[in-house]
Structure formats: structure tokens, C-alpha cells
A = this chain, B = another copy of it.
């Protein structure tokens, strides 16, 4: 699922040096045979928006640049695009000629050097055969957990963590994050070759407190809307109390800790950066309704989750109100997205 196409584009640009360094590391492995004739790259949680193929084409261009500098033999590229089975793979497949054109032009590839396959399935589990990947990338997908944590009934009218969430709820979310991350790392550990590289960007958090507004803001605003709807008797209190989102925004420390505990990877870099979700930077300064773009984008991210719980009838109402709440907030304060990027090498 994609988030904030424009902001994500900026995140992709900001984290590019980390991926370039990782690619250089892949080529510098002591074992010269790490990459044989084909470099296999996987993008996990590829979604189907305008940014789907950006990182993939950038990675191939980077690889070709390094290969030329080192005058190593010609390579072929196998790209695996992964997302859940319900993802619009058809849309991605139709847009592939753009990828081929881009990498052929910019990296000087021939027409038969780059191959793309779609891989449906959850990255919280195996997706690829043993030692079949050289480079794994994932951006803004890993904040989705595999399920709503168990034991979060006490979270009441909140739909994610917030400053009023009881300690047991915070622990349940954190436990689920740790459990999922371990499964993720164990799976990738089997799939990557020794010396293989993995760069993951989380929609994360800059503080150590999982309930700090900075990371929970977008969800708190939904809680505010849902509570309005309860008070107006448009939806039932029980419905909201039974609703919690399967997401988690980790800090860089939490991510690094899980990688350390799992033990299959060496950490090369952990990076925290922030981008401003701002109408002005977004070229939206002249648009009165600055809350609309974030609302529209959040809708693309979570509409299905909301619809399956609250029903489709109330969905327009939720996102219209959300737009107004966000707009009000943006007129007073900046909204930041925190990116936690970790770059690791398979031991």
C-alpha cells in the first residue's frame, strides 16, 4: 500500500545514497562469485503507484554504473515485485514498458537484459527460494503488521497507540512488531545470498516513546473523527472500540535491536530523517483545502481496512471529516513523516 506519493518520492531521493552504498558493498564482496550472471533484486511491498518502479530502475542504473567502473562482465537483472495478492499487479505489469525504457536509456541496457516478475504474498513469511536474492529493498510497507496485535481490547476509542493507550496495549503492539520483524528477517536471511544487501525504510518514529504524537498523529486524527461520529450516533461506540489498526511505527533503536537479536545480518547504517507534509512544498499553497491531499492519500492507504470494519456507507463521511480535521491542524502546525532506514549485509 502506498503512502503520500509525493512525500514518498522525496523519501526515495533522500535515501538514495544509502542504497548506492549498499550496491557498492554488494559488488565489493570478497567472494567474487556473489553475483554470477544475473543480479536478483526484490522490492517488497511494491504497491502500484507512480513510485513502484522508481527504486528498481535506480538500483539497476546504480549497479550498471558500478559495473562499468569495475569493468566487470555484463549482467542480467531479475526484478521481483512483491505485494499482497490483492495488489493491482495488472496495473504494475501494464506500466512495465516505462521501466524498460528508463533503464535501457539511462543504464544503457539492451532490451533483453532486464526481467520482471510479480510475487504475490506476505513478506512476513518466505516468498523466494533459498539464496536466490542479492538485493532486497522495501520502502514504507513494513509499518504494516501481519495482524492486529492480540490483547488490545483496553485501547477503547483509540485505533492505534496514543498517549492514553494503557501500557498493556503498548506492549501488545510492540510485541507484535518484534514477532513480525523476526519472521521477516528469518525469511530474508534464507533468501539472500551470503553478502547480499538489504535496505529497509520504515514509516517510523524519531523518539523512543511509541505513543508520542509525532508518530501517532495521522491515526489520532482518525480517532477524533470516529469519536465525532459516535457522539452524533452515526456509528456505534462498540464498533470503534473493536477497531485497531495493524500498524506500528518503530524507532531506529527498535529496528536495530531486532536485527541484532535475529543475528543473520550485519548492520551497516541506521538513518533517521524527516519530511514535511506541507501544502507549500507540495505545490499546494494556493489551494484552500490543504487537508484534501493528505485525506485522499490516507484513503488510498486505509480505505479497505475502514470499509470492511465500518461498512462502505460511512466511508465518504469519515474521509471528508478527516480532511477538515487535518486541514485545521495544518494551518497551525507542521506535520512530519519520520523515516527510519536500515542497511544490512547478510552474514
Q: A120: which of B78, B85, B118, B129 is its contact (CB, 8 Å)?
A: B118
A38 surroundings in chain B (CB, below 8 A):
129-130, 132
CB distance B76 to A117 under 8 Å?
no
Closest to A88 in B: B90
A45 to chain B, nearest CB (A): 15
CB distance B85 to A94 under 8 Å?
yes
A119 surroundings in chain B (CB, below 8 A):
115-118
CB distance B89 to A96 under 8 Å?
no
A130 surroundings in chain B (CB, below 8 A):
37-38, 76
A281 close to B (CB within 8 Å): no
CB distance A115 to B126 under 8 Å?
yes
- Counting chain B CB atoms within 10 Å of each CB, the highest count among A76, A78, A118 belongs to A118
Kindly identify, within residues 79 to 93 of chain A, every residue whose CB is under 8 Å from any CB belonging to chain B: 80, 85-86, 88-90, 93
A112 close to B (CB within 8 Å): yes
CB distance A115 to B90 under 8 Å?
no
A94 surroundings in chain B (CB, below 8 A):
85-86
A128 close to B (CB within 8 Å): yes
CB distance B80 to A85 under 8 Å?
no
CB distance A118 to B132 under 8 Å?
no
A125 close to B (CB within 8 Å): yes
A90 surroundings in chain B (CB, below 8 A):
85-86, 88-90
Q: How many copies does the complex hold?
A: 2
A116 surroundings in chain B (CB, below 8 A):
119-120
CB distance B76 to A85 under 8 Å?
no
A127 close to B (CB within 8 Å): yes
A304 close to B (CB within 8 Å): no
A300 close to B (CB within 8 Å): no
A131 close to B (CB within 8 Å): yes
CB distance A117 to B117 under 8 Å?
yes
CB distance B96 to A120 under 8 Å?
yes
CB distance B93 to A85 under 8 Å?
yes
A132 surroundings in chain B (CB, below 8 A):
38, 78
CB distance B128 to A115 under 8 Å?
yes
Closest to A118 in B: B118
How far is B128's CA from A10's CA once the two chains are assembled, in angstroms? 32
A129 surroundings in chain B (CB, below 8 A):
37-38, 76-78, 115
16 more CB-based (< 8 A) A-B contacts, given A78-B132, A117-B118: A37-B130, A38-B129, A38-B132, A76-B130, A77-B129, A78-B128, A80-B117, A85-B93, A88-B90, A89-B93, A90-B90, A96-B121, A115-B128, A115-B129, A118-B118, A118-B119
- 21 A-B pairs whose Cβ atoms sit less than 8 Å apart in the complex: A37-B129, A38-B129, A76-B129, A77-B129, A78-B128, A78-B129, A85-B90, A85-B93, A85-B94, A89-B118, A96-B120, A96-B121, A112-B125, A112-B126, A115-B127, A116-B119, A116-B120, A117-B119, A118-B118, A118-B119, A118-B120
**Which residues does A use to contact B, with CB under 8 Å?**
37-38, 76-78, 80, 85-86, 88-90, 93-94, 96, 112, 115-121, 125-132
